[in-house]
Amino acid sequence: MSGQYEVEDTDVFDPMEKRLASMSDEVREIGDLVAGMMLDPGLFGVGVGQVIGAAASDACSKTGEALRDYGETIDVHKEKLSNARESYMEQERSVQAAMSEYDL
């Protein structure tokens, strides 16, 4: 135990790391799907349909890009969680080594 906090089993982080990795992949796939969506301009006539279709395609493209960025943000969070876990373990080993020097 270091400080006031103790993690009995750091393996509890594994499912969360796996879920975050899976979630980031899923969000990116949805972003790719949404970015590829288009509106059929024929539904609104030729003149108005082209304007509406262009606006809808642009909105889908921007939404897809935002979802891909969100997927990258989830990856960053997963890395931070992994780094925090490793940092905790390093600190724990350091404290145990320091305490073992004074073990009677």
The pLDDT of 7-34, averaged and rounded, is: 86
Per-residue confidence (pLDDT) for residue 6, from 0 to 100 = 67
* 18-31 tens-digit pLDDT: 899 899 999 999 99
- The residue extents of the domains of the chain are 12-99
Of residues 6 and 88, more confidently modeled: 88
What is the pTM (predicted TM-score) of this model? Answer: 0.67
Pair 22, 71: CB distance under 8 Å = no
Q: How far apart are CA 86 and CA 65, in angstroms?
A: 32
- The one-letter amino acid code at 10 reads T
Contact 57, 38 (CB under 8 A): yes
Q: What confidence tier does 3 reach under pLDDT thresholds 50, 70, 90?
A: low
pLDDT at 2: 46
Burial of 84 (0-12, 13-18, 19+ CB in 10 A): exposed
